[in-house]
Amino acid sequence: MALPYLEAVLCFMILMYLFEAYLDIRQHRALKLPTLPKPLIGVISNEKFERSRAYSLDKSRFHFIHEAVTIVMDTTILYYRVLPLFWKKSAALATNVGLNAENEMIHTLAFLAGAMVWSQIVDLPFSLYSTFVIEARHGFNKQTIWLFIRDMIKGILLSIVLGPPIVSAIIYIVQIGGPYLALYLWGFMFALALLMMTIYPVVIAPLFNKFTPLPEGVLREKIEKLAASLKFPLKKLFVVDGSTRSSHSNAYMYGFFKNKRIVLYDTLIQQCSNEDEIVSVIAHELGHWKLNHTLLMFLQFGGYTLVRNSKDLFESFGFKDQPIIIGLIIFQHTIIPLQHLLSFCLNLVSRAFEFQADAFAKNLGYSTELRAALVKLQEENLSAMNTDPWYSAYHYSHPPLVERLQALEDSDSKKED
């Protein structure tokens, strides 16, 4: 008797939805609190708090609806065996346009093309509402509808250009992998990640944003001096026009070996009061690099090799044959428990890294500036001021502002003692 794989997957999906919905309710209650947390009283203005509260509640309500629609659609597609039907229809589509659907690569690409169209149709209303209602209502959205459509078209074209060779390579590797399949897949994904990290900032990101060198001046001098003092191999320093789409702010670094680059959002420069606050944010980011927080971790593909030839598993999801791409999709559903556990563990590690990077910037002499920058970014991005401890522990990769300020203060107290 075949094991009820599909039923087990559906049960866990629903249980996880209920658990996360419970956490969302706890967070929604925290967001409704009418007063600031005690450590932020006198630090965050009441005007910013009220704006943050309204923005967070709007996003929370939207999230409830989005997640409810998503779980209903996902469980319906799996329970009523929509995937097998879609797989058959994609073969007919490929045949109708003169392609050989017997070729698994062609059949798979036709299936993924249909899936991409479906995904765009389903996601578009949510994306439009989020961008042009919620983000616009609270002063963040800077996009025109034309820019939104242009970005969407560029994203689709990139998928059309990059998708087929990557998918074809994966199918070929699975077909010839044999007992070393897991190793071959890991090697391919590792090489692909390195390639994408190399070409994305140079080729793909400029398709969506304009990157210009940071002009000569005090800010550039201070960042270059900081990088040199840490032996960070800074080659280029850019400003990206994030303000063309949103007034949210950020900064990041990328590059390999001796060819590192730092990118500042123009909104970050506009929102910080002085150069030292901006440099303190960079000091935090450089702390991640100096403390080796940016090393990549890759998941092994051993689990997939164990389930890809399981006839019962495919039949449970409604498939008589065993297409490679379908095996990968089913595998993603069967490891949902592991994914949730891994995500939670990675968030724990990430929060620890954030505290370490804050301490690193503080030890460089940017304690006051970092505090001011963290408060300013919290205010300008209207980030949630009140957070539920269970929700933040499960979801947040960055500690709440209260905890970061408290950690900086505690380290000061220890030094004084």
Q: Which one is catalytic: 277, 358, 379, 388?
A: 358
Q: Which one is catalytic: 135, 285, 388, 403?
A: 285
The three-point CA angle 369-374-376 to 5° equals 90
For residue 81, which phi and psi values (nearest 5 degrees)? 50, 50
d(CA 366, CA 372): 10
d(CA 110, CA 154): 20
284 annotated as ligand-binding: yes
Helix residue ranges, H only, 130-236: 136-137, 145-176, 181-199, 218-229
Biggest CA-to-CA distance, the chain: 78
Sign of the C-alpha dihedral, residues 317, 318, 322, 328?
Answer: negative
CA 239 to chain centre: 21
Question: What are the distances in angstroms from CA 407 to CA 135, 337, 346, 363, 379?
Answer: 31, 32, 20, 13, 19
123 is catalytic: no
224 is catalytic: no
Helix residue ranges, H only, 317-366: 324-334, 336-361
Which region, left, alpha or beta, applies to residue 81 given φ > 0 means left and ψ of -120 to 50 means alpha? left
Which residues have CB under 8 Å from 283's CB, separation 6+? 226, 360, 361, 364, 366, 370
275 annotated as ligand-binding: no
Which residues have CB under 8 Å from 55's CB, separation 6+? 134, 138, 382
Binding residue numbers: 284, 288, 354
Write out the catalytic residue numbers. 285, 358
Q: Which positions make up the binding site for Zn(2+)?
A: 284, 288, 354
